Chains A and B, each alone.
Chain A
Amino acid sequence: MAVGPGEFGVPLFSPVSEPLHPLLAVLLITIGLLVMASFFIGLLADHAYLISSLSSTMTAALLFIFVSGKYQAHGRAHTIKQQRKLYTKVWIFLSSYEVTSTKFSRSLGYEFATGGLASVFLGFGTLFLLLWTGVYV
């Protein structure tokens, strides 16, 4: 139909090449978890179970950081120390919402924005995680 005898088409490549899958998965999910942690801290600033949400998201984020640190140190030029500095800076920025928010000072728009950002990062990170593990969706 579109290809006659003797005609050749160009091979179709994936938009994201395969070696990038693990890197993108780890990076996006880590950032997503950090944003999610800040979201929960902002959301539950005055409730009793703030501590549990805080600790759970923090441990999740730290675990992911640890895993990514293990992986990335082999493949990339950055050292682990530089990464830790970067992550702590991001963490401090995001958790600044905590020390300044109460039940009456938090805004719905900020929460939706943080939730939206977290869901974007987590969504794309999960996609690359699926591709990394071989589930080509």
Chain B
Amino acid sequence: MARAMALSLLLLVACFNLASAADSLTVVRADRKVDLLTQVVRVSTAWKVQNNGAEPVREVKLALTSEQAERVAFMEVVIKETKGKGKNAAVGLLLPVIRYSQEGSVIVYTLALPREIKEGEIATFESYVALTHQLKPFPEEITQSDSQLVKYHDTAYILSPYPVKVQTTMFKLSSSRLESFTKVNPTKVADTEVRYGPYEDVEALERKPITLHFENNQPFAVVEELVREIEISHWGNVYITENYNKLAHQGARLKGGFSRFEYQARPGASGVSAFRHLLAKLPVHANSVYYRDEIGNISTSHLRSDFRRTELELEPRYPLFGGWKVPFTLGYSVPLQDLVFKAADGSRYLNISFGSPFGNIVVDKLILKVVLPEGSYDVSATVPFPEGSFEQRQEKKFSYLDTVGRTVHVIVKKNSVMEHQFKNVLVHYRFNPLGMLVEPLMLVLAFFAFFASCIAYTHFDFTLSKSTSAYLAQVQRDQVIDVISKLQKVLGIRQTAEERLEASLKDVLRTGDITACKADRKNADAVWKSTSKDLKALLDTLQSTMKTVPGKPSTTKPSVIVTKVETLLLKEKEMVEKLQQKQTFIVDAYERKLSGKEIDARIAPVQEKLESLRQEVSNLRSSLED
């Protein structure tokens, strides 16, 4: 029993020791600047901590109230280290958040230090937190000519998990009109600044709530949901489509109607808290920008681009007053080489900024969808936010020329502000380059299917009966045409031989070279001999096809064709013989060295006959093509 008690006491003491070791830091000095210029509250605090414990400390903690923690959009803690010597020796190192825990109504974030703080040592670091929806409009409804007043709730003492020795806080307001503020001595108001402090010896997690009520006419543009879809095509382009599902003015709501006349006539005094323009900073080589909504294209926009940046100024269809909403879609294309890179190990990655390109807007829910080309695998993402503040999942999308669908990597985050424009998301994936051929191959197959169907159509036999006279006549006609075309082919060969011989004869008349002529004659003779056999065979088949026609009245036509063919063949034979004759004459004449005139005299009659025969042959041939 006594031993158990001793053990439990020991445990208690050990726990206390651990607890004290964790809280052995004290803040020597803390200076906070709260920026209340726009709708986003930006708190930058400079901390100077000292290790008063017995052990070196590796972690440092930061605290936020649970309401604030719900709306924290951006948190960054930087510690300055001197690396080496020189002017640029001071380097800011980012401290990663390793865990957060809830203690009562306060969320405590624990950050890891790069280098431990030894006993008695002092370290300085800066924290920067951006919070949304902290400025609440009060009064909640205003007329068109009123100015917008907002209330801001905070504490005069900096919320810290460590005791603070000396601290000051400064609030920077957007205008010098300060309706009311809580006084916590010492407090000083100077134009647009309210200074609280210095306060001394404040306990850990001690709070002193204060409220500031001041004028803020900056645009309170809040997007309820933004879907950014980034579609990568390896053929050279990245499509970015941003769907703003209701951009709303979440400041003081407008009451009492909207007078367009007053708004336009007195711009300084009417609708001071309303806004008309939105400025977006797009990637440098952004092109094909479009701005549209459900109705259609919105033409009130200006795109200004130079070699350094591209700026897009949008003007919605109507100015936005409190409580008014406008949905729209913005889309643009960026060349592939600006956003997608190849890593050293062969994988590819997309490097894109996370936030919306518009400055000064708050996005309540940002969904980033990266559509990777078909055939991508091993998809993973490096997201620059602490674990637990975002969600990831994968979907499938069917787009142009897709078979199995494209992998989509989705990242969902709440509370996005302008600082996220400088935070890049890396989406890694692997892709086989041959996969790019799937798309053209699909087109090729589509065209080939069309051609194959044409072939199938013409090769299928759709006749109902194979014994009707009409069908048989058709078959006979096809056969006749077949034979005649073969005939034409053979005659064509013979004609080329003939023309070649004629040409060589002309050459002889010019140059007097007989040997070439003789060689040509030999070739021509060979051709004529072989083709005459073919001609005979064709004539026989023609006659046989003519015979097998059943009782059809128009049998005169086939016989006409047969006679025509026969006369043609005879004439052609005669022509060939005459040409051969002419050639022998000329060769003879040259061997005997006769004069030009005599040669001409001898071949003249032959030549005439030849010409007339040629005419007849060509006439018959063309008439056969019926």
What residues make up the interface of A, taking CB atoms closer than 8 Å to B? Answer: 1-3, 7-18, 36, 39-40, 43-44, 46-47, 99-100, 102-105, 108, 111-112, 115-116, 118-120, 122-124, 126-127, 130-131, 134-137
Contact = CB atoms under 8 A, between A and B. Distances in A.
A1 to B, nearest CB: 5
Given A1-B382, A105-B482, A123-B446, A9 B343 contact: yes
A102 B478 contact: yes
B183 to A, nearest CB: 47
Given A12-B340, A14-B336, A40-B454, A123 B485 contact: no
Contacts of B485: 99-100, 102, 105
Contact of B237 (A40, A47, A111, A136): A136
Contacts of A40: 454
Which has the most chain A C-beta neighbours within 10 Å: B345, B428, B454, B489? B454
Interface string B236-277: 110100000000000000000000000000000000000000
A10 B348 CA distance: 9
Contacts of B479: 104
A103 B441 CA distance: 32
B458 interface: yes
B400 interface: yes
Contacts of A130: 400
Contacts of A105: 482, 485
Contact of A118 (B348, B349, B440, B447): B447
A1 B436 CA distance: 25
A13 B235 CA distance: 8
B439 interface: yes
A136 B406 CA distance: 14
Interface residues of B, number: 52
Contacts of A3: 341, 343, 349, 382, 426, 428
Contacts of B452: 112, 115
B288 interface: yes
A14 B452 CA distance: 33
Contacts of B489: 100
Contacts of B348: 9, 12
Which has the most chain A C-beta neighbours within 10 Å: B288, B342, B443? B443
Interface of B: 233-237, 239, 288, 333, 336-338, 340-345, 347-349, 351, 380, 382, 400-401, 426, 428, 433, 436, 439-448, 450-452, 454-455, 458-459, 478-479, 481-482, 485, 489
B443 A7 contact: no
Contacts of B382: 1, 3
Contact of B340 (A1, A11, A119, A137): A11
Given A16-B235, A46-B481, A127-B439, 15 more contacts: A1-B347, A3-B382, A9-B349, A12-B337, A13-B236, A13-B337, A14-B234, A43-B458, A46-B478, A103-B482, A105-B485, A116-B448, A123-B445, A123-B446, A135-B400
A12 B342 contact: yes
A136 B235 contact: yes
Contacts of B338: 11
A2 B455 contact: no
Contacts of B445: 119, 123
B436 to A, nearest CB: 7
A128 B450 CA distance: 20
A33 B489 CA distance: 28
Contact of A137 (B439, B441, B444): B439
A108 B442 CA distance: 23
6 nearest CB pairs, A to B? A123-B444, A14-B236, A9-B341, A115-B451, A119-B447, A123-B443
A63 B31 CA distance: 76
Nearest to B481: A102
A119 B451 contact: yes
A56 to B, nearest CB: 13
A127 B440 contact: yes
A2 B440 contact: no
Contact of B448 (A1, A15, A104, A115): A115
B455 A111 contact: yes
Contacts of A115: 448, 451-452, 454-455
A23 to B, nearest CB: 15
Contacts of A11: 337-338, 340-342
